[in-house]
Homo-oligomer: A and B are copies of this chain.
Amino acid sequence: MSTADRPLRRDAERNRRLILDAARDLFAARGLTVTLDDVAHHAGLGVGTVYRRFRSREELINTLFEERIGAIVALAEEGLACADPWLGLTRFLESALELQAADRGLKELLLGTSEGRDHVARIKARMAPLGTELVRRAQAAGALREDFAPQDIPLLQMMLGAVVDATQPVRPELWRRYLALIIDGMRADGARPEPLTVPAVDFKQLDAVMRAWRPPQRRE
């Protein structure tokens, strides 16, 4: 891009920042589907300005998430550094979900939207062995059931991600309840479940959640 070409004029540099900040906020809050018109308006600029700085939506997304996309790897490494293998695994699951809850755009990138394919593919390649090791250690310690597989981790993230999305406006922490339930299901034979600390929704909240639910977008 035009990084080394020539320094941007001061106002242009300021606007670039405004765009990136606005985009970060909007993608985090509403996912990757926000339009560049939205971003421009939220930054207090015209659409043309956004397109002068970033050739396309795609380029903006890549620029924005270039660093953040590796955050998930850091979390897995943190889990592996944990002395207790079971805690290492469960804390990884929890912190990865926290990431998803805090940044919906990042979540959509990591879970597989077509955008930004290369970067994400590389990240996934780096994740696979880390996830496998997290699972292996927890099983070796006798804490994790033997029939749990590393490939289950992304699917659990997907399931809980659905709860994150649906309950965000009403009860943003509700996913922790279902993570706890699933974690109890992951314990090796003989381990005791822990009480659920996050209460269920009441019927009124449930209604609000269901009303806000939207089916996934059409494929193809």
Given A185-B184, A185-B185, A30 contacting B155 (CB threshold 8 A): no
Interface assignment of A162: CB less than 8 Å from any CB of chain B:
yes
Given A163-B159, A206-B151, A112 contacting B182 (CB threshold 8 A): no
Interface assignment of A99: CB less than 8 Å from any CB of chain B:
no
- Whether B213 contacts A113 by the Cβ 8 Å rule is yes
- Whether B155 contacts A178 by the Cβ 8 Å rule is yes
Interface assignment of A33: CB less than 8 Å from any CB of chain B:
yes
Closest B residue by C-beta to A104 = B215
Instruction: Identify which of residues 193-220 in chain A touch chain B, using a CB-to-CB cut-off of 8 Å.
Output: 193, 195-196, 199-203, 206, 209-219
A181 partner, pick from B186, B211, B213, beta carbons under 8 A = B186
Closest B residue by C-beta to A206 = B151
Give every chain B residue within 8 A of A202 (Cβ-Cβ). 151
Q: How many residues of A contact B (CB 8 A)?
A: 62
- Whether A112 contacts B151 by the Cβ 8 Å rule is no
Give every chain B residue within 8 A of A155 (Cβ-Cβ). 163, 166-167, 174, 178, 201, 206, 209
Interface assignment of A161: CB less than 8 Å from any CB of chain B:
yes
Instruction: Identify which of residues 138-193 in chain A touch chain B, using a CB-to-CB cut-off of 8 Å.
Output: 145, 147-149, 151-152, 154-156, 158-163, 165-167, 174, 177-178, 181-187, 189-190, 192-193
Interface assignment of A40: CB less than 8 Å from any CB of chain B:
no
Copies in the complex: 2
Supplied contacts A128-B203, A152-B178, A155-B201, 20 more A-B pairs, CB within 8 Å:
A33-B218, A111-B210, A111-B215, A112-B213, A113-B215, A114-B211, A145-B193, A148-B196, A149-B199, A151-B201, A155-B174, A159-B163, A159-B178, A162-B162, A185-B193, A189-B192, A212-B219, A214-B216, A214-B217, A216-B216
14 contacts across the A-B interface (CB closer than 8 A):
A111-B210, A113-B213, A113-B215, A147-B196, A151-B200, A154-B206, A155-B206, A158-B163, A158-B166, A159-B160, A181-B186, A182-B185, A184-B185, A214-B219
**8 shortest interchain CB distances as A-B pairs:** A185-B185, A149-B200, A162-B162, A112-B210, A184-B185, A112-B213, A159-B159, A181-B185
